[in-house]
A and B are shown apart, each in its own frame.
Chain A
Amino acid sequence: MTKGKKVLAITLATTMAFSCLTACGSKKGGNNEAKPTPTAIIEDLVKVDPELGITAPDEVENNADAQKVSLKVWAPAEEQDLMEKLCTTFDKAHAEYDIDFTYEVSSEADAANNLTNDPQSAADVFMFAGDQLSNLADGNLLFDLSALIPDNPEIEEKYDDQAYNSCLIDGKLLAFPFTANQFFMYYNKSMLTEEEVKSLDDILAKDLGTAPSGEKVKNFGFDLANGWYILAFMYGNGCTLYGDGTQEKECNWNNEDGKAVVKYLNNMIATGKFFSNANDDGLPLLEKGELATVVTGSWNSNAVKAKLGDNYAACVLPTFKIDGKECHMKPFADFKMIGVNAFAGEPRPAAELAYFLADNYSQWQRLQIRSYAPTVKILQDYVTDDTKEKPEPIDPAVIAATEQMSAENSSLRPTTPQLKNYWSFGQNLGSLIYKQDERITDESKMQDTLDLIVKGITTVL
Chain B
Amino acid sequence: MENNTGNGQNNYQTTPCHEVDYDRALPIVLGQIFTYGDLFTKLSFLIMGFSNIIRGQIIKGFIFLLTEVMFFYFLLMEKGGTYHLDRLISLGTTPASQADGPFGKITPNDDSRKCLLYGIGTVIIIFAFLALWAESLKSGYEAQYFVAKGKRPNSFYRDIQIYFDKKIYRTLLFLPIVGISIFTITPIIFMICIGFTNYNAKHNGYTKLVDWIGFDMFGKVLHMGKDPDGTVNMFSHTFWSVLGWTLIWAVATTFLCYIFGMILAMVINRKGIKFKKFWRTLFITSVAVPQFVSLLIMRSFLSEFGLLNSFLRNFGLNPPDWLGDSTLAKVVVIVVNLWVGIPYTMLITTGILMNIPAELYEAAKVDGANAVTTFFKITLPYMIFVTTPYLIQQFIGNINNFNVIYLLTGGGPNMDTSKYQAGDTDLLVTWLYKLTTDSKDFNLASVIGMLIFILSATFSLITYRSSGSYKNEEEFQ
- A residues near B (Cβ < 8 Å) are 1, 6, 9-10, 13-14, 16-18, 20-21, 24, 116, 119-120, 135, 138-141, 144, 146-147, 150, 225, 276, 278-279, 281, 285, 342-345, 347-348, 351, 417, 420-421, 423-425, 427-428, 431-432, 435, 437, 439, 449, 451-453, 455-456, 459, 461
Interface of B is mostly: loop
Determine whether the beta carbon of B420 is less than 8 Å from that of A456: yes
Give chain A residues whose Cβ lies under 8 Å from the Cβ of B234: 455-456, 459
Which of B74-82, B150-158, B175-183, B448-456 is found at the contact surface with chain A? B175-183
Determine whether the beta carbon of A13 is less than 8 Å from that of B175: yes
Partner of B418, one of A17, A120, A427, A452: A452
Partner of A347, one of B96, B105, B235: B105
With most chain A CB atoms within 10 A of its CB, the pick from B96, B200, B234, B414 is B414
Known: A10-B172, A116-B204, A281-B303. A453 touches B417 (CB 8 A): yes
Which of B124-132, B401-409, B439-447 is found at the contact surface with chain A? B439-447
B168 interface residue (CB < 8 Å to A): yes
Determine whether the beta carbon of A147 is less than 8 Å from that of B417: no
A431 to B324, CA, bound (A): 9
Partner of B200, one of A437, A452, A456, A461: A461
B21 interface residue (CB < 8 Å to A): no
Determine whether the beta carbon of A439 is less than 8 Å from that of B417: yes
Give chain A residues whose Cβ lies under 8 Å from the Cβ of B440: 420
17 pairs of residues in contact across A and B, judged by CB atoms under 8 Å: A20-B183, A139-B204, A141-B207, A147-B102, A279-B303, A342-B106, A343-B96, A345-B105, A420-B201, A424-B414, A424-B419, A424-B423, A428-B414, A435-B413, A455-B234, A461-B200, A461-B444
B9 interface residue (CB < 8 Å to A): no
Residue of A nearest to B303 (CB): A279
A427 to B303, CA, bound (A): 17
Give chain A residues whose Cβ lies under 8 Å from the Cβ of B183: 20, 24
A342 to B172, CA, bound (A): 48
Nearest 9 CB-CB pairings of A with B:
A147-B102, A17-B175, A140-B207, A452-B417, A139-B204, A281-B305, A347-B103, A348-B103, A420-B439
Give chain A residues whose Cβ lies under 8 Å from the Cβ of B413: 225, 431, 435
Residue of A nearest to B411 (CB): A424
Give chain B residues whose Cβ lies under 8 Å from the Cβ of A18: 175
Residue of B nearest to A147 (CB): B102
B211 interface residue (CB < 8 Å to A): no
Determine whether the beta carbon of A449 is less than 8 Å from that of B417: yes
A140-B96, A417-B201, A425-B417 are known; give 17 further A-B pairs, CB within 8 A. Answer: A1-B168, A10-B172, A24-B183, A135-B201, A138-B208, A140-B98, A147-B103, A225-B413, A281-B303, A342-B98, A420-B201, A424-B423, A428-B417, A435-B325, A435-B415, A451-B231, A459-B420
With most chain A CB atoms within 10 A of its CB, the pick from B200, B321, B414, B417 is B417
A343 to B417, CA, bound (A): 40
Known: A14-B175, A139-B207, A420-B440. A431 touches B415 (CB 8 A): yes
Interface residues on B, range: 35 or more
Determine whether the beta carbon of A431 is less than 8 Å from that of B108: no
Give chain B residues whose Cβ lies under 8 Å from the Cβ of A20: 179, 183
Known: A347-B105, A417-B201. A452 touches B421 (CB 8 A): no
- B residues near A (Cβ < 8 Å) are 96, 98, 102-106, 108, 164, 168, 171-173, 175-176, 178-179, 183, 200-202, 204, 206-208, 220, 231, 234-235, 300, 303-305, 321, 324-325, 412-423, 438-441, 444
A451 to B419, CA, bound (A): 14
Give chain B residues whose Cβ lies under 8 Å from the Cβ of A14: 175
Partner of B415, one of A119, A141, A437: A437
A452 to B419, CA, bound (A): 10
Determine whether the beta carbon of B324 is less than 8 Å from that of A435: yes
Residue of A nearest to B435 (CB): A461
Known: A6-B168, A24-B183. A456 touches B438 (CB 8 A): no
Partner of B172, one of A13, A120, A453: A13
Partner of A432, one of B168, B415, B418, B423: B415
Residue of B nearest to A290 (CB): B305
B66 shortest CB reach to chain A, Å:
24
A197 to B98, CA, bound (A): 51
B449 shortest CB reach to chain A, Å:
16
Give chain B residues whose Cβ lies under 8 Å from the Cβ of A9: 168, 172
Give chain A residues whose Cβ lies under 8 Å from the Cβ of B444: 461
A28 shortest CB reach to chain B, Å:
13
Residue of B nearest to A279 (CB): B303
B77 shortest CB reach to chain A, Å:
24
Determine whether the beta carbon of B102 is less than 8 Å from that of A119: no
